Amino acid sequence: MSFEGKTVLVTGGTSGIGRAAAGQFGSAGAQVIVTGRDQTRGREVVDTIESGGGQARFIAADLAAPGGAQQLAQAAGQVDVLVNNAGVFPFGPSHEIAIDDVKAALDFNVVAPFTLVAALVPGMVQRGSGAIVNVSTMVASFGLPGMSAYGASKAALELLTKAWAAEYGPAGVRVNAVAPGPTRTPGTEPMGDGIDQLAATLPLGRAADAQEIASTIVFLASDEASFVNGAILPVDGGRVAV
Ligand SMILES: NC(=O)c1ccc[n+]([C@@H]2O[C@H](COP(=O)([O-])OP(=O)(O)OC[C@H]3O[C@@H](n4cnc5c(N)ncnc54)[C@H](OP(=O)(O)O)[C@@H]3O)[C@@H](O)[C@H]2O)c1
């Protein structure tokens, strides 16, 4: 897979799945834009990509701040591939989650990707090509106690994936999503043993490594997936199949 001459923006590229994806895009020849809030981690990801012969830059952006997504899109400029990976996971019983946290999850997991697409897709349409990959979750497809707000926000992102595929496919822009199962990342470290308990429910019986999710993201963004549009690809060890 080659991304030579392409600019790829990965939100949440400073950690976990996004970091792994940024590295793989860099190895495949992309000019990678890594974004997140943490300058130190951002610099580390850029240095790793550059030390492997790739090209990358970091743009600091807080997607939870008013205007943050819009400012990121402006700073990024022309983007050929957008990976909406950054996400927040407000776990807990529905009657205990603060409504403000529910709204924040919807803002972060739905409205921020929406804003980035609205800002960046016109350029893709004008050029007649582009790819967008959204990062959902297996729990957008079934009810899991404690993950209602999170799952609902990602289910909205999945519907947007299909809507955008219909809207922009005719202009040569493909839009797809991955729906990962439990994956070891800095973001899931606080789950402790919980991730192993969840992983035990998958046919493959283990949690994923971030690289395994990243390689699917890179595939969906690549020309090798040139006829894949509007797909929600489970990368969950078989969990939603059973
Ligand atoms: N890990 C799993 O088990 C799993 C399973 C299914 C789906 N997913 C999805 O995969 C995606 C990545 O998850 P992960 O586990 O790799 O996450 P992670 O390790 O917690 O990383 C989250 C990333 O989001 C960025 N981020 C967080 N808040 C931000 C903000 N306000 N503004 C800008 N960036 C922000 C972080 O960057 P900074 O800290 O630098 O701001 C970081 O790069 C998420 O959408 C998640 O829902 C994960």
180-195 pLDDT tens trace: 999 999 999 999 999 9
Q: Which domain holds residue 221?
A: 7-234
Ligand 1 centre to CA of 187 (Å) is: 6
- The CATH number assigned to the domain holding 71 equals 3.40.50.720
Is this prediction's pTM over 0.85? yes
Atom number, ligand 1, closest to the C-alpha of residue 195: 3
User: Would you list the DSSP string of 164-181?
Assistant: HHHHHGGGTEEEEEEEE-
Whether residue 68 has pLDDT greater than 90:
yes
Q: Is 183 in the pocket of ligand 1 (CB under 6 A)?
A: yes
Higher pLDDT, 89 or 71: 71
Does residue 63 form part of some domain?
yes
For this structure, is 150 an active site residue?
A: yes
Query: Rounded mean pLDDT of the chain?
Result: 97
State residue 1's pLDDT score. Answer: 85
Does residue 239 form part of some domain?
no
Q: Is 141 in the pocket of ligand 1 (CB under 6 A)?
A: no
**Antiparallel, parallel or unpaired: β 55-60 and 7-11:** unpaired
Q: Where are the beta strands (DSSP E) in the chain?
A: 7-11, 31-36, 55-60, 81-84, 130-135, 173-180, 183-184, 208-209, 232-235
Return the SS3 of 46.
helix
| Percent above pLDDT 90 for the chain | 98
Whether residue 67 has pLDDT greater than 90:
yes
Does residue 240 form part of some domain?
no
Ligand 1 centre to CA of 84 (Å) is: 10
State residue 173's pLDDT score. Answer: 99
The pLDDT of 162-171, averaged and rounded, is 98
The pLDDT of 17-27, averaged and rounded, is 98
User: Cβ of 70: how many Cβ atoms within 10 Å?
Assistant: 15
- Per the structure, the count of domains in the chain is 1
Does residue 200 form part of some domain?
yes
Question: How many contiguous H segments (helices) and E segments (strands) does the chain have?
Answer: 8, 9
Whether residue 162 has pLDDT greater than 90:
yes
Does residue 179 form part of some domain?
yes
pLDDT level of residue 84 (50, 70, 90 thresholds): very high
State residue 158's pLDDT score. Answer: 99
- pLDDT tens-place string over residues 114-149: 999 999 999 999 999 999 999 999 999 999 999 999
Q: Is 18 in the pocket of ligand 1 (CB under 6 A)?
A: yes
Q: Is 16 in the pocket of ligand 1 (CB under 6 A)?
A: yes
Q: What is the DSSP letter of 138?
A: G
Whether residue 41 has pLDDT greater than 90:
yes
Ligand 1 centre to CA of 35 (Å) is: 11
List of residues 6+ apart from 179 with CB closer than 8 A: 136, 137, 138, 140, 141, 154, 158, 232, 233, 234, 235, 236, 240
